[in-house]
Amino acid sequence: MAIVFQRPHALKETQMHYCPGCTHGIIHRMVAEVIDELGIEGTTIGVSPVGCAYNNYLYFNCDMVQAPHGRAPAVATGIKRVHPDNTVFTYQGDGDLAAIGTAEIVHAANRGEKITTIFINNAIYGMTSGQMAPTTLIGQVTTTSPFGRKPEIEGYPVNVCEMLATLKGAAFVERVSTHDIKNLNKTKRAIKKAFQVQMAGLGFSIVEVLSTCPTNWGMDPVKSLKWVEEKMIPQYPLGNFRGKDLEV
């Protein structure tokens, strides 16, 4: 990959544990770069999810809290209300945010909680070995949809951004992807804006990042990126759903 930078200060030197070709790592790097660029490492507090990123509190140099499965937005709410001048973000997978944590994310957004959520949509439960996620595509085979996801039985993929964009408290909602450099750059811009929206006190902000799970998709890294582009984006169109014109 052509993007070779120095390690951002907000990221520790610790070796990350993600599988080869998993895009969790690059997203961490972009969050850290944004923290560096905004100069907020000393005032930022992150909340780790339960999912493959469960121990990303080991990777960031800012203060970090590990939350129960799906509850990161509630934990972040508690932190933010104690330290309203700090920047608080959650980092959550699609099982964490869109299944067990649906209530927490909806209500944090609806309260216009001034936090930022980085939402990793990889259409699967990575950590627990490839079960169906709410975001799993129709027909996608997983360990708990062994015959492919069928809408009659398992319902439809959940489009989180479209859903949250209906809430007044959600100030900034954008979906981005990791499948090529152009989109990685857009991802970073979106993350930066989401943090800025929070810092400007405008309300809740979320960036949904389409991400890969080569291990549980049973694909090599290159094919995984193609799968994001060809299969995921039609279900999860990229773009801004709220707050495009916010001045920050």
Binding site for ligand SF4 (CB under 6 A): 18-19, 22, 24, 52, 122, 126-127, 213-216
| Structural element, H or E, at residue 192 | helix 181-199
Residue of the chain from 26, 47, 53, 132 that contacts ligand TPP (CB under 6 A): 53
Residue of the chain from 34, 47, 127, 197 that contacts ligand TPP (CB under 6 A): 127
* Integer CA distances (angstroms), 165 to 106, 204, 205, 232, in order: 10, 11, 10, 20
Least distance CB 50 / other proteins (angstroms) = 6
Give the start-end residues of each E strand in 116-238: 116-121, 170-177, 204-210
Should residue 93 be labelled a site residue for ligand TPP when binding is judged by CB under 6 A? yes
Should residue 50 be labelled a site residue for other proteins when binding is judged by CB under 8 A? yes
Q: Cβ closer to ligand TPP: 10 or 124?
A: 124
Whether residue 49 contacts residue 67, with contact meaning beta carbons closer than 8 Å, is answered with: yes
132-151 footprint of ligand TPP as x/- string (CB under 6 A): -x------------------
* Integer CA distances (angstroms), 59 to 12, 15, 17, 28, 132, in order: 5, 8, 10, 8, 27
3-state SS assignment for residue 93: strand
Least distance CB 30 / ligand SF4 (angstroms) = 16
For the four alpha carbons of 210, 218, 53 and 68, in that order, the dihedral sign comes to positive
| Residues at the site binding other proteins, with contacts judged by CB under 8 A | 17-19, 50, 52, 54, 66, 68-70, 95, 99-100, 102, 125, 127-129, 131-132, 134, 143-147, 154, 215
